[in-house]
């Protein structure tokens, strides 16, 4: 079985497009900060539509699903944005160090123009993330991320970014699936990994309004979306790594979930995908 690295080595990802991209039901697992450099981003929730122009930043709270539209600049013909996902361990340590500041933070606006301090802090974080995230380099990256969060707190724009996600068995399952999305997961296998009985796992998932199969499918397709949008792997390899033995079935499941074929997203980036038969 071919494998990708589904869990981000870096919390920062780059998104670009040459034509309009529209994706439905995009999961937001961790709070995200989106910095739009070129073009415009639209995010539609159940209650509102948020638009971020070039030079603006957008905050997406953790949880739920959104519709995303990426629109290239009419002059340059390009869309370019950086997305920073909030790492739970980093968040937990930030709360320990600066809990009083977080508690006093106001609810931030979804779309805002960053201050000079926030912009410089993001640039420092991006520079830190160019190194492999391990050892001293990992500590430097986390320190740079803390600097960005403090700059945003000063600007009054970090409230939603610094909210700790609620604990739950669904979140633990999702984290487990992210490391091995291509594994043939069963309820029995997952319950054993979590040191729970199958009955207890079913009951706790029901209490959270989730199901085992739903979490597994959502995790696999969410990881696949990230790989299609930011990676260069072949769609066949992404399908296999995310648990789909048939590229055509993967493409159909992807289309049903996001409303667009993975090949169409690659085409919107100006890329030609090479699809091979599974080996």
Q: CATH for 12-162, among 2.60.120.810, 3.50.50.60, 3.80.10.10, 3.30.420.40?
A: 2.60.120.810
**Which of 184-192's residues contact partners 24+ apart within 8 Å by CB, and which partners?**
184/243, 185/216, 187/212
Q: What band does 3 get if pLDDT is binned at 50, 70 and 90?
A: very low
Question: What sign for the dihedral angle of Cα 219, 220, 222, 227?
Answer: positive
Instruction: Return the residue matching tokens 């122009």.
Output: 53
The predicted pLDDT at position 4 comes to 47
Domain positions in the chain are 12-162, 169-268
Considering only 1-15, 126-140, 221-235, which range has the smallest mean pLDDT?
1-15
pLDDT digits (tens, 9 = 90+) for 107-151: 778 999 999 999 999 999 999 998 888 899 999 999 999 999 999
Check: pTM over 0.85? Answer yes or no.
yes
**SS3 state of residue 249:** helix
The predicted pLDDT at position 122 comes to 97
- Cα angle at 145 between 141 and 147, to 5 degrees? 115
Q: What band does 60 get if pLDDT is binned at 50, 70 and 90?
A: very high
Compute the distance between CA of residue 67 and CA of residue 256 in angstroms, rounded to an integer.
Answer: 14
pLDDT digits (tens, 9 = 90+) for 259-278: 999 999 999 999 876 443 33
**CATH top-level class of 169-268:** mainly alpha
Q: What is the DSSP string of 79-131?
A: EEEEEEE--HHHHHHHHHHHHHHHHTPPPPPSEEPPPHHHHHHHHHHHHHTTS
Residue 9 has pLDDT above 80, yes or no: no
pLDDT digits (tens, 9 = 90+) for 32-55: 999 999 999 999 998 899 999 999
Higher pLDDT, 10 or 173: 173
pLDDT digits (tens, 9 = 90+) for 171-181: 899 989 999 99
24 burial level (CB within 10 Å; 0-12, 13-18, 19+): middle
Question: In terms of Cα–Cα distance, which of 251, 242, 253, 252 is closest to 275?
Answer: 251
pLDDT digits (tens, 9 = 90+) for 230-244: 988 999 999 999 999
The predicted pLDDT at position 69 comes to 98
Q: What band does 5 get if pLDDT is binned at 50, 70 and 90?
A: very low
Q: What are phi and psi of 120, to 5 degrees?
A: -65, -40
């Amino acid at each position: 079985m071919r494998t990708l690295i589904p869990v981000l080595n870096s919390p920062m990802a780059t998104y670009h497009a040459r034509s309009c991209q529209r994706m439905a039901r995009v999961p937001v697992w961790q709070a995200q900060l989106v910095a739009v450099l070129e073009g415009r981003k639209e995010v539609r929730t159940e209650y509102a539509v948020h638009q971020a122009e070039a030079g603006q930043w957008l905050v997406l709270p953790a949880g739920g699903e959104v519709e995303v539209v990426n629109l290239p600049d009419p002059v340059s013909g390009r869309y370019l944005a950086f997305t920073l996902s909030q790492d739970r361990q980093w968040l937990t340590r930030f709360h320990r160090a600066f809990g009083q500041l977080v508690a006093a933070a106001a609810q931030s606006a979804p779309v805002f123009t960053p201050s000079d301090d926030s912009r410089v802090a993001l640039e420092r974080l991006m520079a830190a993330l160019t190194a492999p995230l391990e050892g001293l380099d990992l500590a430097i990256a986390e320190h740079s991320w803390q600097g960005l969060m403090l700059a945003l707190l000063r600007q009054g724009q970090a409230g939603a970014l610094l909210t700790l996600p609620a604990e739950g068995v669904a979140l633990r399952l999702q984290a487990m699936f992210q490391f091995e999305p291509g594994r043939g997961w069963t309820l029995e296998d997952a319950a054993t990994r979590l040191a729970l009985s199958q009955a207890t796992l079913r009951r706790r998932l029901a209490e959270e309004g989730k199901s085992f199969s739903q979490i597994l499918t959502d995790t696999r397709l969410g990881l696949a979306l990230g790989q299609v949008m930011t990676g260069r792997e072949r769609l066949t390899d992404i399908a296999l790594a995310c648990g789909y033995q048939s590229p055509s079935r993967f493409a159909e499941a992807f289309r049903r979930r996001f409303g667009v074929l993975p090949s169409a997203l690659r085409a919107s980036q100006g890329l030609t995908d090479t699809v091979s038969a599974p080996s």
